[in-house]
Structure 1
Amino acid sequence: MGIIYISLSLCVCSALISISCCSEILDTHKILQTLEAQQHAISQLTNQVLQLKGELQSQKRQMDETSERLRECSRNKRMLLENPYEGALKVGFTAKLSKHMLNLGNNQAILFDYIVTNIGHHYSPNTGVFTAPINATYYFSASILSHTNELLQTEIVKNGIREVMIYSYDNDHEQGSNSVVLQLNIGDEVWVRHLGMVGTKVYGNGWSTFSGFKISDD
């Protein structure tokens, strides 16, 4: 009887030890699972922090660029207030006749073909015509050199209507000149042309010139 009791006791103890060991194994497994889950969560949080950091840096760059644009606008506004014509459209040209023009026809345009200055490119050396880009007040001048013992009359015209005339004549070369201030609308045209049938030759080689520029906006 005693032997049986001892045997039963040993069996019970073995069972308890086995249960205890299994319990410890289960607890360790749960702890490992928890740690793995926490590591995964930490990794996700780290990625989110890095993403937020990148977004904040991008927003900072955008704010810096916006601030720079605002400062530039402020500088431009201040410049315009100090000089109201600083941002206005600039217009001006000077062209000269590179070769002699011979056998001029009645009212033939004089083609000042060599460009010295053409701010805005509103003068055409192909046609000899300046076209107004905006409504404004403009100044024009022309100097025309005639050949020896040759009478020559020319004129500055606006849209084909005479504004001022130029007379050139002498026993030697003679240079006539004139100028005019005109109020032009967009698309108005100004050029220099031969006046009637008086004379047939214009001296080139850079001696005859045509110039114009904008004085002020209307």
Structure 2
Amino acid sequence: MLPVITLSVRQVAFSASLLAEGSVTLGPCNTFTTLIFKRVVANIGNAYNPNTGIFTAPVRGAYHFEFYVAVIGGQTAAVLVKNKERIFAVAEYQSPGFGSSAQGATLALEAGDVVFVQLWVDNKIFDNQSHHTTFSGHLLFTM
């Protein structure tokens, strides 16, 4: 008789904005730059690391992610990355005012896979106390 393996269902969800306080425009940078979303409003399951900006899947499952980016007077572009693979990108050009854009994806992840958002080369990003630039994700179901 084969042993029964029980996978405990874990509740996993997070939501964070780029800044905890203040206002900033980051970039442009000459390399892809991982964004570290510091203001964490939810981190159920502690799978998001606010020191690195990286989400690490605790269990094998289907996860949904969304990210929003903002810019004032210029161009922003960012990309959702799974491990080393660029999944979906978003871009916005706004001159001279404020602009924002959003993107999302549902991903099949193995335990230990990482997901994060990178600022695209030669672009900039804006956030302030209104928290325009955000990154969120949650486990839909285990597999």
Q: Which runs of 5+ in 2 are unaligned?
A: 1-7
> Max radius of gyration: which structure?
1
The C-alpha deviation readout for 1:137-185, integer Å capped at 9, x for no partner, is 000000000122x111110010121100011212211101100000000
Q: After TM superposition, give the deviation of residue 97 of structure 1 in Å.
A: 1.2
Query: Could you tell me which amino acid in structure 2 is paired with residue 178 of structure 1?
Result: Q
Cα RMSD over matched residues? 1.3
Kindly report which structure 2 residues correspond to 1:20-99, keeping only aligned pairs within 5 A, or say none.
88-98=9-19, 99=23
Q: Percent identity?
A: 29
Q: Which residue of 2 aligns with 1:165?
A: 89
> Structure 1-normalised TM-score?
0.57
Whole-angstrom distance in 2 between the partners of 1:91 and 1:130 = 10
Question: Hey, which bits of structure 1, 4+ residues long, moved more than 6 A?
Answer: none
Structure (1/2) with the larger helix percentage: 1
Quote the offset at 1:103 in angstroms.
2.6
Given candidates 76, 80, 84, the residue that maps to 1:156 is 80
Moved more, 124-133 or 93-102: 93-102
Name the SS of the counterpart of 2:27 in structure 1: coil
Q: Between Structure 1 and Structure 2, how many residues are aligned?
A: 129
Could you tell me how far apart the structure 2 residues matched to 1:164 and 1:174 are? Answer: 19
**Residues in 2 aligned to 1:207 and 1:162: alpha-carbon distance in whole angstroms:** 22
